[in-house]
Amino acid sequence: MKDDSELAPRALAPIIGTTPGELARAASVILAGGLVAVPTETVYGLAADATNGAAVASIYTAKGRPSFNPLICHVADLAMAEAFAEFSPLARRLAERFWPGPLTLVLPRRASCPVSELATAGLPSIALRSPKHEATLGLIRLVGRPIAAPSANPSEQLSPTTAAHVAAGLGRRIDLIIDGGACPAGVESTIIAPGEDAAVMLRPGALARAEIELLTGPLGAPEAASGILAPGMLKRHYAPRAHLRLDATSVSGGEAFLAFGAPPEGVAPSLNLSPRGDLAEAAANLFAMLRALDESHDSIAVAPIPESGLGEAINDRLRRGAALSLQDGVRQIR
Ligand code: TXA
Ligand code: MG
């Protein structure tokens, strides 16, 4: 993996819109092996042709991401996905119910799958999802190939939910940014590994556990999946520069307070994830608000978030962000 010093200084990537002509331009950049940041309903992705090993390698370089951490391949629909992976009846039902949408399926890779081994980190499985964003679905159809896309942020940092966030983090390391507006969900997709009759949740995300369990029954924890790992579930992840203090019911000098619902007596929130206590609204605001408070504070106290519904994904991201900021050397990461 190259570090910053080995990357030649580059111009800031152009930010374009989502007209047919602009999407055609983005498709030609991807087909030529370039990197394009794309909007999805969850977070912005950093897209490349998943079948082009050199292009996939440049995703890892641009993000500073360890290459043992595989990428999600984005497809237009189930028909396209079936060419790359083996779908059990349960996997097919999940895709039919939730695609396009914030559900990633980890499935056995077909022998004929043309996706670069680098994208799947040499694993026998492949992570697939069809994103619910018209521009990016249109782009995948124009490209006619799966696009590999991790979140469009430098490794370990906060995920981007606007084109401006992408430009601030990776603007000089990539070729093009498509501005498709703010991401409505705001946290990454839920990752599921469906087995023969039961399924395992590898990462909580924008599709709540309860919705999936209507189809799968109770979801197992990652430990229950023999041999299936989400290598990217590193403890150090999604981290602001500032120290994060979770489940805070008071605020001390110098700290920012990120509220959820009604703030505690006498505490003036710096920002509020959702004044009406709505978890979907809080998820949509999470990364942008952490980013804003990170600009002005060295320490952020975050109110307790209920673990129900999308709270599971919000708390997962907060705990990983806090784990990093408690460790030595954190401040070098930026
Ligand atoms: O919402 C999302 O999922 C966003 C948007 C851009 O689609 N993408 C995203 O990608 O969050 P990324 O690379 O930040 O996270 C992908 C996760 C990692 O935890 C990785 O380890 C896991 O998916 N993953 C990928 N392929 C896998 C596989 N074959 N088996 C298990 N886990 C896998
Ligand atoms: Mg990520």
What is the domain count for the chain? 2
Residue nearest to atom 33 of ligand 1 (CA): 230
Q: Which of 86, 191, 286 is the best mutation target for the ligand 1 pocket, counting ligand atoms within 8 Å of the beta carbon and taking the most? A: 191
* Closest ligand to the CA of 188: 1
Say yes or no: 89 and 211 in one domain: yes
Rounded to a whole number of angstroms, the distance between the first and last alpha carbons of the chain is 17
| pLDDT tens, per residue, the chain with 334 residues | 444 445 566 899 999 999 999 999 999 999 999 999 999 999 999 999 999 999 999 999 999 988 888 999 999 999 999 999 999 999 999 999 999 999 999 999 999 999 999 999 999 999 999 999 999 999 999 999 999 999 999 998 999 999 999 999 999 999 999 999 999 999 999 999 998 768 999 999 999 999 999 999 999 887 765 555 555 555 556 778 899 999 999 999 899 999 999 999 999 999 999 999 999 999 999 999 999 999 999 999 999 999 999 999 999 999 988 885 444 343 333 2
Cα(151) to centroid of ligand 2, in Å? 4
Helix (H) or strand (E) holding 72: strand 72-74
Cα(201) to centroid of ligand 1, in Å? 12
Say yes or no: 222 and 247 in one domain: no
Q: Which two tokens stand for residue 79?
A: 């028909």
Say yes or no: 206 and 280 in one domain: no
| CATH code of the domain containing 164 | 3.90.870.10
Say yes or no: 273 and 187 in one domain: no
Say yes or no: 10 and 138 in one domain: yes
Residue nearest to atom 13 of ligand 1 (CA): 150
- Asked whether residue 334 is domain-assigned, the answer is no
Say yes or no: 219 and 250 in one domain: no
Range of the domain at 276: 243-321
Q: Which of 124, 174, 117, 118 is nearest to 151 (CA)?
A: 174
Q: Which of 36, 74, 104, 109 is the best mutation target for the ligand 1 pocket, counting ligand atoms within 8 Å of the beta carbon and taking the most? A: 104
Distances from the Cα of 184 to the Cα of 108, 136, 209, 258, angstroms = 30, 14, 18, 20
Q: Which two tokens stand for residue 252?
A: 């001390």
pTM of the model as a whole: 0.90
Residues with CB under 6 A from ligand 1: 40, 42-43, 45, 69-72, 102, 104, 106, 120, 123, 125-127, 131, 149-151, 188-189, 191, 202-203, 229-233
Say yes or no: 217 and 289 in one domain: no
Locate the ligand 1 atom nearest the alpha carbon of residue 38 and give its number. Answer: 6
Residue nearest to atom 10 of ligand 1 (CA): 150
Residue nearest to atom 21 of ligand 1 (CA): 232
Q: What is the pLDDT of residue 234?
A: 53
Q: Which of 254, 190, 252 is nearest to 216 (CA)?
A: 190
Say yes or no: 247 and 289 in one domain: yes
- The region that residue 99 occupies, defined by phi over 0 for left and psi between -120 and 50 for alpha, beta otherwise, is beta
Helix (H) or strand (E) holding 90: helix 89-98
Q: Which of 42, 314, 319 is nearest to 186 (CA)?
A: 42
Q: Which of 20, 50, 16, 11 is nearest to 33 (CA)?
A: 50
Residue nearest to atom 20 of ligand 1 (CA): 232
Helix (H) or strand (E) holding 15: strand 15-16
Q: Are 48 and 140 in contact (CB under 8 A)?
A: no
Locate the ligand 1 atom nearest the alpha carbon of residue 45 and give its number. Answer: 6
Q: Are 27 and 49 in contact (CB under 8 A)?
A: no
Q: Are 80 and 87 in contact (CB under 8 A)?
A: no
Q: What is the pLDDT of residue 334?
A: 26
Considering only CA atoms, give the Rg of the chain.
19
Residue nearest to atom 31 of ligand 1 (CA): 230
Q: What is the pLDDT of residue 221?
A: 84
Say yes or no: 72 and 179 in one domain: yes
Say yes or no: 222 and 275 in one domain: no
